[in-house]
Structure 1
């Protein structure tokens, strides 16, 4: 059986952003993997924070995320930063994240 032809991984585009005072680096590869034969495309996004600050989507300050389809970011004007900021805003609605933010603001003696 013949294996489908694949494209070489394209380069990452690097963006800077800020979410609630946390500096972010957003790396986006619009064609991390593709199969030319059937038009299949996998995109990849990496998110890194300065000093490994936690976010509602990562405890380590790093997150890798794969998306299938060339249109995966269409709802965000094909803007990976807009997608990441929306993802963070939605994840920040989680009660566990809100409790953590409140605890961080108050500090702890223990």
Structure 2
């Protein structure tokens, strides 16, 4: 199956996601990267890039909306203390 490319904005970060429903005939694959600002950290990756393999049909079984599922994942992970600490430190600017 051909890769599908999606672009969306999450909390002022432009994100590109490439979803391959079936890769190598055995697995599904998501590539997520922040594109503006380039390589901006996300709650699911400090580097702004994540390669995520998962069972084929997972996204389709949950409604098939790649952007909605990625947004829900980002929102869920953004509630964790690590991300909250990062956001707070970014707001203040680090002195050291």
**TM-score using structure 2 length:** 0.89
Is the 2:22–2:56 Cα contact (8 Å) retained in structure 1?
no
What displacement does 1:32 show?
Answer: 1.1
* Number of the residue aligned with 1:109: 95
Which one has a bigger Cα radius of gyration?
1
* Number of the residue aligned with 2:39: 52
* Number of the residue aligned with 2:65: 79
Runs of 4+ in 1 over 6 A off after TM superposition: none
Per-residue deviation, residues 25-59 of structure 1 (Å, max 9, x unmatched): 0100111132xxxxxx4211100102100011101
SS of residue matched to 1:14: strand
What displacement does 1:93 show?
Answer: 0.9
SS of residue matched to 1:52: coil
How large is the Cα RMSD of the aligned pairs? 1.2
Q: Distance in 2 between matches of 1:97 and 1:57?
A: 9
Per-residue deviation, residues 3-29 of structure 1 (Å, max 9, x unmatched): xxxxxxx32111101110100001001
Range 53-62 or range 41-50, more displaced: 41-50
| Runs of 5+ consecutive residues of structure 1 not aligned to the other structure | 1-9, 35-40
**TM-score using structure 1 length:** 0.78
Q: Distance in 1 between matches of 2:24 and 2:66?
A: 17
